Amino acid sequence: MSPIRRVVVIGCGLIGTSVACALRRAGVRVELADHDPWALAQAARMGAGTALRAGDGPADVVVIATPPSSVAAVLREAQARGLGTVYTDVASAKTRVLAEAERIGCDLTGYVPGHPMAGREISGPGAARAGLFEGRTWALCPHPALSPRALRTVSALASACGAEVTLLAPDAHDRAAAAVSHVPLVLSAALAARFAAQGPDGDPGEMGALPLAAGALRDVTRVAGSPAGMWRDILAHNAGPVADLLEAMTRDLGRVAAALRAADDGPVAEVLARGNEGHARIVRALSRTREPERAAS
């Protein structure tokens, strides 16, 4: 039984509903809120909790499971209503969200920026799974104003969901998220876009190659099916780290392209060898956690 007795989850999408289902499975009372009555009703039908009622007093934790662009405003409103004693979010970009929360006057002592590293490329409450976070990393990002009690409470919440907590500074989190989640999504989308009907400049792309497509193309483009609107918001809130890594990769790809045109095998062999080494490191790292079911955001 979790030491956390009551949680309010604001936002009944994939992650919010999965958090709610995981907490319900751990014996926690969960109340739900969402601006979309359909999403709220579907999450409730799945057993994620009941609709938030006025007058129930502050919850142990309020989980804000909304897009990054709305986290700070939702946090301020929830604090003004006294919905909880401790607050956290699940957005996949931290530095800009934390700065916005500070700018608009949120109480940061009880706000623990968080990011569970799990997800799927399909969205909505119907895609939620109580076991989505089992064995997965849940990043928490302490800041100078944060109270130790709030950090302990949200750590307990993540553990109740089956996750393993890791602590990162907000900027370190954003650089890591760019490398392991955000840039892979952009690269996947960029390749998949070559197979769209037509590029923005009239480029016909590679549609004619699709009859030959097999597992390699499917595997590399899998996360390109993730919701575009959600990812626009995420990328905008982690623009600097994502752009830095994309520029570095553009330089790498440029060297490979130049080497191929010059029939120079050296740079090509080097990137393939480094790719083998990096792949081995990735496999070892993922073997220590449950393989993600779908795209982590």
The DSSP result for 190-252, as a single string, is HHHHTTSS--TTS--TTGGGGGG--HHHHHHHGGGGS-HHHHHHHHHHTHHHHHHHHHHHHHH
Strand boundaries in 60-152, DSSP class E? 61-64, 87-89, 111-112, 114-116, 137-140
Average the pLDDT over 130-138 and give the result: 94
Question: Which range (163-172, 206-215, 260-269) has the least confidence?
Answer: 206-215
Residue 36's pLDDT band, with cuts at 50, 70 and 90, is very high
CB 31 within 8 A of CB 57: no
In this model, does residue 136 exceed pLDDT 70? yes
Residue 263's pLDDT band, with cuts at 50, 70 and 90, is very high
Which of 34, 63, 66 is closest to 156 using CA atoms?
63
Q: Which residue has the higher pLDDT, 80 or 292?
A: 80
User: pLDDT per residue over 163-189, tens digit each?
Assistant: 999 999 999 999 999 999 999 999 999
Q: What is the number of alpha carbons within 13 Å of residue 174 lying toward its C-beta?
A: 21
Tokens encoding 52: 């938030």
Q: Determine the pLDDT at residue 1.
A: 46
Q: Is 272 left (phi over 0), alpha (psi -120 to 50) or beta?
A: alpha
CB 252 within 8 A of CB 183: no
Q: Determine the pLDDT at residue 3.
A: 78
Which of 199, 64, 232, 43 is closest to 128 using CA atoms?
43
**Residue the block writes with tokens 């575009």:** 228
Q: Determine the pLDDT at residue 201.
A: 67
The average confidence (pLDDT) of the chain is 92
C-alpha 115/C-alpha 174 separation (Å) is 10
Residue 294's pLDDT band, with cuts at 50, 70 and 90, is very low
Q: Cα separations (Å) of 205 from 196, 208, 221, 292?
A: 7, 8, 15, 31
Q: Determine the pLDDT at residue 208.
A: 80
C-alpha 241/C-alpha 145 separation (Å) is 24
C-alpha 225/C-alpha 188 separation (Å) is 9
What CATH architecture does domain 6-168 belong to? 3-Layer(aba) Sandwich (3.40)
Q: Determine the pLDDT at residue 200.
A: 66
Question: Which range (47-56, 198-207, 260-269) has the least confidence?
Answer: 198-207
Where exactly are the structural domains of the chain? 6-168, 174-287
Q: Determine the pLDDT at residue 127.
A: 80
Tokens encoding 66: 């909304």
Helix and strand totals (H; E) in the chain: 11, 9
In this model, does residue 237 exceed pLDDT 90? yes
Phi, psi angles (nearest 5°) of residue 239: -60, -45
User: pLDDT per residue over 89-123, tens digit each?
Assistant: 999 999 999 999 999 999 999 999 999 998 776 77
Average the pLDDT over 31-52 and give the result: 95
CB 28 within 8 A of CB 62: no
CB 73 within 8 A of CB 104: yes
User: pLDDT per residue over 44-61, tens digit each?
Assistant: 999 999 999 987 889 999
Average the pLDDT over 69-87 and give the result: 98
Strand boundaries in 131-186, DSSP class E? 137-140, 164-167
Average the pLDDT over 198-220 and give the result: 80
Homologous superfamily of domain range 174-287: 6-phosphogluconate dehydrogenase C-terminal like domain (1.10.3660.10)
Average the pLDDT over 285-291 and give the result: 71
Q: Determine the pLDDT at residue 33.
A: 96
